[in-house]
Chain A
Amino acid sequence: MSVRRTRATAVRVLQQLRHDPRTVALLLAVPCVLMILVHELFVGRPQVFQSLGVPLLGIFPFVAMFIVTSITMLRERTTGTLERLLTTPIARGDLLGGYGLAFALVAAAQAILVSILSFGLLGLEADHRAAIVLLAIANAVLGMSLGLFASAFARTEFQAVQFMPAFVLPQILLCGLLVPRDQMAGWLQAVAALMPLTYAYDALKRLADGLTGPRFWLDVVVVLGVTVLALVLGAGTLRRRTP
């Protein structure tokens, strides 16, 4: 791996985004608008917003980065730029590292913006706010690495977009956000235990409640571990030689 090539890739990805201001605006504005919607939806029951708010801070960047990365990577595959890059000395780690760096920056901007809005204007209460923002960024990177991996299984952008409801929506439904997991059917709990977002949700929830014991750190380790695993598996799908 090379620092120069990783940095160049990150700069390139950010330049691509800069030429697409509408995407940047959507990435930054949509989570804020959704958060305001959730706040207004439960305006009569503020305790609901208090329990949803912090997990949502992490889930929004997770979803956004999953979609953006899977589409960007698919584009890299279909336009031939990936094939070209893989005939050059670039290491696959440089490419993925560059993507990770660029999208983590975007995710940080996104997470910070929604956090300022939620904690500042919408009256969301939580301990460990800085740690919550960091965890939200970790969630974004998790979404990115899963999106990268998923993109290997899409041949067209239509398919890649469908991966959002296929891969991401079940995780949102089952992570505990909508129904506490101990109230779900046993087999649903078992399925939820296999999904990375479940651990991301738990970590955020525990952090918001000030529960930073061993269970919290286990959740964090699972989130980071799955991120690395998906990146390694994703790297395996970037083949220098293709049929």
Chain B
Amino acid sequence: MEGLTVVRGGREVLHGIDLEIEPGRVSGLLGPSGSGKTTLMRAIVGAQIVASGSVVVLDQPAGSPPLRSRVGYQTQAPSIYADLSVVENLAYFAAILEASSKRIAAVLDVVGLRGHERQLASTLSGGELARVSLAAALLNEPDVLVLDEPTVGVDPVLRRDLWATFHGLAAAGTTVLVSSHVMDEADRCDWLLLLRDGSLLASGTPEELRVATGERDLGAAFLTLVDAAEAGAS
């Protein structure tokens, strides 16, 4: 990604971002609400009109037709059909993504929703809805997974399991990008991208960020980086 600038509603929300995401590891996109995480992810999946800059995914321009079956995207709000059952939702997305119907049971296991197959999505809790939405993104085993806050509203045990799943996918060669506004998830990532007010504040492994700031706690490290950036700006 080079010089990515995005204007939404007359306001520049991403200011010329350069970054590279390596395959085979879990990268975390962290930053407070409104920092531009979702916009950045939409640019990667090709859903965002960009003002300038370029985004290249798997050697192709973001959003180009060959990428549509190779990039999985989970939107922040659960984008599934509330008036369909869990399995009907997944069967539809499986047909669209040309995934085998065997994958439906597999992804239900991953997100811990076995036994909810026949339940109408509108009767699920917020966290369960998000997990159906995540399951749909996993159906065709994409090479790149872009997950916008996949662990919101998920209980601690399942959250641990989901992170294990993300690392399992990364170990198998998938590029996983996960956003979160919760700093305590930062330690679970192999690589961190800290976003604030539409600019990339820092990137590196959790350990590198600790060493660079001298803080043990990544939340404190983030604050130190913010202070440093503001001191540099003024």
Contact = CB atoms under 8 A, between A and B. Distances in A.
Interface string A69-106: 00000000001110111111110000000000000000
A88 B96 contact: yes
Contacts of B93: 88
Nearest to A86: B47
Contact of B81 (A8, A11, A12): A12
Contact of B84 (A12, A85, A86): A12
Interface string B107-137: 0000000000000100000000000000010
A87 B68 contact: yes
A81 B80 contact: yes
A4 interface: yes
B97 interface: yes
B8 interface: yes
A241 interface: yes
Interface stretch (A15-23, A168-176, A182-190, A217-225): A15-23
Nearest to A76: B81
Interface string A15-45: 1100110000000000000000000000000
A8 B96 contact: yes
B232 interface: no
Given A4-B98, A8-B96, A243 B82 contact: no
A11 B93 CA distance: 12
B79 A81 contact: yes
Decide if the interface of chain B is mainly helix, strand, loop or mixed: mixed
Interface residues of B, number: 33
A88 B71 CA distance: 8
Given A83-B75, A241-B46, A88 B95 contact: no
A88 B97 contact: yes
A241 B63 contact: yes
A81 B92 CA distance: 12
Contact of B97 (A20, A89, A241): A89
A5 B69 CA distance: 13
Contacts of A81: 79-81
Contact of B96 (A5, A15, A80, A241): A5
B65 interface: yes
Interface in B62-85: 63, 65, 68-69, 71, 73, 75, 77-85
Contacts of A20: 83
Contacts of B84: 12, 15-16, 19
B49 A84 contact: no
- Of A7, A15, A84, A242, most buried by chain B (CB within 10 Å of CB) is A84
A12 B91 CA distance: 9
A7 B9 CA distance: 37
A8 B49 contact: no
Interface string A203-243: 00000000000000000000000000000000000001111
B203 interface: no
A19 B120 contact: yes
A87 B45 contact: yes
Given A84-B73, A89-B96, A243-B8, 5 more contacts: A19-B85, A20-B83, A79-B77, A87-B45, A88-B97
Interface of A: 4-5, 7-9, 11-12, 15-16, 19-20, 79-81, 83-90, 240-243
Interface of B: 8-9, 45-49, 63, 65, 68-69, 71, 73, 75, 77-85, 88, 91-93, 95-98, 120, 136
24 contacts: A4-B98, A8-B96, A9-B92, A9-B96, A11-B92, A12-B84, A12-B92, A15-B88, A16-B81, A16-B83, A19-B84, A19-B85, A20-B83, A79-B79, A79-B82, A80-B75, A80-B77, A81-B79, A83-B79, A84-B75, A84-B136, A90-B96, A240-B46, A241-B46
